Structure 1
Amino acid sequence: MTAGRFITLEGGEGAGKSTQLRALAAALRERGLDVVETREPGGSEGAEAIRSLLLTGRADRWSARAEALLFAAARADHVEKTIRPALARGAWVLSDRFLDSSRAYQGQGALSDADIVTLHRIGSEGFLPDRTLFLTLPEGEAEARARVRDGDKSDRIGGRGQSFHRAVADAFARFARDEAARFHAIDASGEADAVTARLLDAVADLLP
């Protein structure tokens, strides 16, 4: 049986992760691979229920600690119910966000990166992707794309202020520098087909 692979797409708001995940999945299926598309928070029945709690309501609905615990619980269910079974049958799993989004978004202020990693070790046994594709865009272009996508209806995390999202972008960039063996930074600017080609190049060495 061909080994399954777990690939995550990460980046800030407006980077095009969801669009590119679908395009990358289609390209991999054309190569004969079994591909599972998933997302966080979500990706399993339990995790989707938690997603609705996390992304709706007032900005102060959850404290920083409660929010981080909810994300860790959703991820634990996602890994157990969706990701590991798919990998066990030899599928490629593509996820729109995973642990590194929790590190970037929740690992600020009240909680450290080490705190988020500890929650992941407890909830998901420290499970990590084979490769993380970090989509990068200049701040202004990312903001413009997010506005087109969301209009006036951002969720309670996406709708946070510019300084918060700048800190998130800085965190992702730091992860990419410090964990270069797993992270591949991908220029997400330009035509969508060109971005998809860059993503394919970034996983070419993992293809059977």
Structure 2
Amino acid sequence: MVAAPALAGVLAAPLGGPVAAAVVAAYTAVAVWAVRRRTRQRQQADRRATVLDLLSSAAADLRAGLPAQTALAELAPLARPGSPAPSAAAVPASVQSLVARIWAAVALAEATGAPAAEVLERIEVDARGDDRAAAGAAAQVAGARATSWLLAVLPLAGLGLGYTIGADPLPVLLHTPVGAACAAGALLLQLGGLAWTGRIVRPPTVAGAR
């Protein structure tokens, strides 16, 4: 993640000096972070959906009369007690807690003779309900999040407006102490605004356990 902002700053330095290099590097770092975060969230959601599909299939197999060992074969590598656990990077926290609930239910069913299929189905219904609630919350805050990103790029429109009225704002902004101070202040305010908006509109984490 450090390489891309550094490279962008190096490329911007000959064109606009150190101020341009710092601003471009900061914006590039934010963009890279946003892309990586979005990619990670998508991968986590896909992994959780896969576990829920396996859970549904296992419950159906148990109801069909298959032995538990056969029905749960595909779930067995997912952190079953006594089996090699995948790396933490491969299994996000929401999936780890969901898998922990599954194996706790299976262990309880094996110990008490309770119908494991019904318990697993209830876990699946509960988990999918959590997913729907999280998706609904994310949809509710999508507009506010988009507005925060729009506000973050408005200074570019301000520069364009300056040129349309005959001013030349970039030399002042990039090559004078006052301009550098304004650029630094604007950058801090923008990053702080994005961080604060992200904090207040963050959707609730999908719960794997209650």
TM over 0.5: no
- Report the TM-score when normalising by structure 2: 0.27
Which one has more relative contact order, counting CA pairs under 8 Å at least 6 apart?
1
Larger fraction in helix: 2
- Report the TM-score when normalising by structure 1: 0.27
Larger Rg: 2
